[in-house]
């Protein structure tokens, strides 16, 4: 958002389209000129000199709804004013922008099949012929193990050739379960939830793919944030876990609400409304009936919800027992009565690093009793921490650094402007 709004170097960011419209093609050369510097020069310069195809694969008006894909603008970037995160995101967009205009990656692949006592063994190796678009990402390797397998060189062999086996090694291992979601992988799963569908309905899968999955670009992060604030999700490191509250709710709610098929079904009906094949009134009546039946089903269900995180501490507002919960970056005590809404922060994860293990520390307590605590066992009073940081010269923010650089640039311009030679030349009339 800042790269679009403040730096003016990227186009509108809230889009899920991966295509450009035909009218943008006329501005491609100017955008390439804007990024034709530094590490991008060797990739942008050939494209500037070359004539671009009239109908490239990445241009498709039919696949752009509100906004086209995110690409660089005609504004040349000023990296001095960008944060580290902004530079990384800008780099991702520029490299993808360049890659789609480069030719295919070409390679030669060899596959060997060997038979030993009725058992079949396979080996595969590749040899690059033309790097194409991969040259732009050559320093950004994929899965190392997979890359190593692809890079192995296989000897030249003939079909039917036989060898004697000198030794055999048997290895044992365990398959890894799927990794837990992080915020990034969860958003990606929401964008493409087809693999989580229980049915094999191809029309529903196609609809979810065309409509952008669950939520929109602008709402997915907010949906996840609400799940955290409602204490249905919690973080342990970067990994996301469901809370006991969430697991109970998933058992209690009707099955339809847990499936992406419901979103697909509604999106299909909305598409029919847009095409004039279905009445919007009929659809809304179906939604009202469905919602009413859903509420009745929940009310009459036999399941009951029980808090398993109840504490003996009482709410100072309503007197009910408080619940111990883990927020996104803090541990809290909250009132079980949502209408009361009382919350008390017990500990908060900070950006302060432990001097022993360098992990992020928790700030426990408040006022004079506030202390930093690390998982490794290190403890330090807030007052002592502030004194130590002051001695170490902390307190200089990114904004301070940027202001200092601006000041230096301003002074440099003033010095140049006061040059006697320039003043003399300025007064000459030709």
Q: What was the pLDDT predicted at 72?
A: 96
Least confident of 73-77, 215-219, 386-390: 386-390
- Does 271 share its domain with 374? no
- Does 8 share its domain with 59? yes
Q: What is the CATH number of the domain that holds 14?
A: 1.10.290.10
Tell me, yes or no, whether 167 lies in a domain.
no
Query: Nearest to residue 326, comparing CAs of 224, 223, 229, 234?
Result: 234
Tokens 């690409």: give the residue: 71
Q: What was the pLDDT predicted at 190?
A: 92
363 DSSP β-pair partners: 348, 372
- Does 117 share its domain with 92? no
Tell me, yes or no, whether 311 lies in a domain.
no
Tell me, yes or no, whether 33 lies in a domain.
yes
pTM exceeds 0.85: no
Tell me, yes or no, whether 9 lies in a domain.
yes
63-109: per-residue pLDDT in tens? 887 899 999 999 999 999 999 999 999 999 999 999 999 999 998 88
Query: Could you tell me which residue, 324 or 400, shows the higher pLDDT?
Result: 324
The residue-averaged pLDDT of 290-310 equals 83
- Does 22 share its domain with 94? yes
* SS3 assignment for 323-351: EEEECCCEEEEEECCCCCCCEEEEEEEEE
The residue-averaged pLDDT of 235-258 equals 87
Q: What is the CATH number of the domain that holds 199?
A: 1.10.460.10
- Does 80 share its domain with 117? no
51-63: per-residue pLDDT in tens? 888 788 899 888 8
Query: Could you tell me which residue, 401 or 312, shows the higher pLDDT?
Result: 312
Report the number of distinct structural domains present in the chain: 5
Tell me, yes or no, whether 23 lies in a domain.
yes
What is the average pLDDT value for the chain, to the nearest integer?
84
Q: What was the pLDDT predicted at 393?
A: 60
111-126: per-residue pLDDT in tens? 889 888 888 988 888 8
- Does 260 share its domain with 192? yes
- Does 208 share its domain with 290? yes
pLDDT over threshold 70, residue 340:
yes
- Does 189 share its domain with 142? no
Tell me, yes or no, whether 125 lies in a domain.
yes
Q: What was the pLDDT predicted at 145?
A: 42
- Does 294 share its domain with 188? yes
Query: Could you tell me which residue, 389 or 364, shows the higher pLDDT?
Result: 364
Query: Could you tell me which residue, 180 or 251, shows the higher pLDDT?
Result: 180
Tell me, yes or no, whether 220 lies in a domain.
yes
Query: Could you tell me which residue, 140 or 67, shows the higher pLDDT?
Result: 67
404-418: per-residue pLDDT in tens? 666 666 665 554 444
Q: What was the pLDDT predicted at 30?
A: 94
pLDDT over threshold 70, residue 160:
yes
165-182: per-residue pLDDT in tens? 888 888 899 988 989 999
The residue-averaged pLDDT of 393-410 equals 63
Residues carrying an active site annotation: 12
Structural domain including 363 reads 326-391
348-384 burial by CB neighbour count: b if 16+ within 10 A, else e? beeebebeeeeeebbbbeeeeeebbbbeeeeebebee
With cut-offs at 50, 70 and 90, classify the pLDDT of residue 132. very high
Judge contact between 382 and 372, C-beta under 8 A. Answer: yes
């Amino acid at each position: 958002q800042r790269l679009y709004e403040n730096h003016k170097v990227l186009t509108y960011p809230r889009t899920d389209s991966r295509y450009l419209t035909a009218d943008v093609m006329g501005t491609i050369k100017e955008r390439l000129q804007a990024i034709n510097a530094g590490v991008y020069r060797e990739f942008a310069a050939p494209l500037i000199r070359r004539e671009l195809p009239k109908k490239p694969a990445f241009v498709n008006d039919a696949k752009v709804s509100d906004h086209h894909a995110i690409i660089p603008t005609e504004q040349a970037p000023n990296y001095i004013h960008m944060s580290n995160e902004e530079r990384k995101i800008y780099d991702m967009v520029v490299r993808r922008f360049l890659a789609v205009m480069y030719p295919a990656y070409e390679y030669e692949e060899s596959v060997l099949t060997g038979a030993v006592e009725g058992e079949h063994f396979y080996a595969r190796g590749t040899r690059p012929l033309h790097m194409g678009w991969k040259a732009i990402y050559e320093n950004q390797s994929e899965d190392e193990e997979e890359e190593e397998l692809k890079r192995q060189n296989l000897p030249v062999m003939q079909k039917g050739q036989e060898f004697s086996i000198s030794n055999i090694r048997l290895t044992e291992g365990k398959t890894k379960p799927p990794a837990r979601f992080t915020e990034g992988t969860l958003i990606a799963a929401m964008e493409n939830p087809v693999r989580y569908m229980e049915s094999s309905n191809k029309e529903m899968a196609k609809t979810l793919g065309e409509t952008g999955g669950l939520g929109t670009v602008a709402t997915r992060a907010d949906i996840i944030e609400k799940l955290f604030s409602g204490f249905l999700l919690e973080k342990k490191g970067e990994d996301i876990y469901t809370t006991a509250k969430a697991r109970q709710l998933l058992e209690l709610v009707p099955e339809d609400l847990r499936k992406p098929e419901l979103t697909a079904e509604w999106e299909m009906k909305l598409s029919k409304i847009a095409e004039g094949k279905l009445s919007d009134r009929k659809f809304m009546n179906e939604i009202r009936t469905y919602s009413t039946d859903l509420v009745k089903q929940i009310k009459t269900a036999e399941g009951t919800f029980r808090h398993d995180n109840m504490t003996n501490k009482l709410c100072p507002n309503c007197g009910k027992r408080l619940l111990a919960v883990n927020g996104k970056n803090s541990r809290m005590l909250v009132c079980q009565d949502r209408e009361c809404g009382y919350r008390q922060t017990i500990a908060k994860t900070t950006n302060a690093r432990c001097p022993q293990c360098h992990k992020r520390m928790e700030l426990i307590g408040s006022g004079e009793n506030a202390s930093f605590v690390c998982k490794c066992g290190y403890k330090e009073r807030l007052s002592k921490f502030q004194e130590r940081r002051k001695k170490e010269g902390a307190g200089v923010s990114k904004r301070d650094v940027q202001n200092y650089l601006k000041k230096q640039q301003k002074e440099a311009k003033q010095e140049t402007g006061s040059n006697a030679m320039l003043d003399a030349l300025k007064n000459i009339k030709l």
